[in-house]
Amino acid sequence: MRFIIPLLSFAVLIFAAPAIASANNCAALPDHAALKTALTVARKEANGGLNLDMWGTIVDRSGIVCAVAYTGDTVDAQWPHSRLISAQKASTANGFSLKGLSLSTANLYSATQPGGPLFGLQESNPINLSAAYKGASKDFGTKADPLVGEAIGGVNVFGGGLALYNDKGEIVGGVGVSGDTSCADHNIGWRVRHALNLDFVPAGVAADKSDAVIYDIAGDKSKGGFGHPTCGGTENTVASSLVKVQTLTTAETPKK
Closest CA relative to residue 173, chosen from 11, 30, 18: 30
Name the domain count of the chain.
Answer: 1
Residues belonging to the chain: 256
In a domain, 6, yes or no: no
In a domain, 15, yes or no: no
**pLDDT, averaged in runs of 10, over the chain (256 residues):** 38 36 80 98 98 98 98 98 98 97 98 95 94 96 98 97 97 98 98 98 97 96 97 96 88 52
CB 203 within 8 A of CB 221: no
Closest CA relative to residue 191, chosen from 46, 12, 79: 46
| pLDDT at site 23 | 57
| pLDDT at site 73 | 98
Question: Residue 5: CB partners within 8 Å, gap ≥ 6?
Answer: none
> Measured between alpha carbons, how far is 145 from 224 in angstroms, rounded to an integer?
39
> Measured between alpha carbons, how far is 89 from 106 in angstroms, rounded to an integer?
10
CB 160 within 8 A of CB 86: yes
In a domain, 1, yes or no: no
In a domain, 96, yes or no: yes
189: CATH: 3.30.450.150
Q: Coil, strand or helix: which one is 135? A: coil
| pLDDT at site 247 | 87
In a domain, 128, yes or no: yes
| pTM for this predicted structure | 0.89
What residue numbers bound the domain in which 45 lies? 25-241
Side chain identity, residue 104? S
In a domain, 68, yes or no: yes
In a domain, 19, yes or no: no
In a domain, 251, yes or no: no
Q: Coil, strand or helix: which one is 178? A: strand
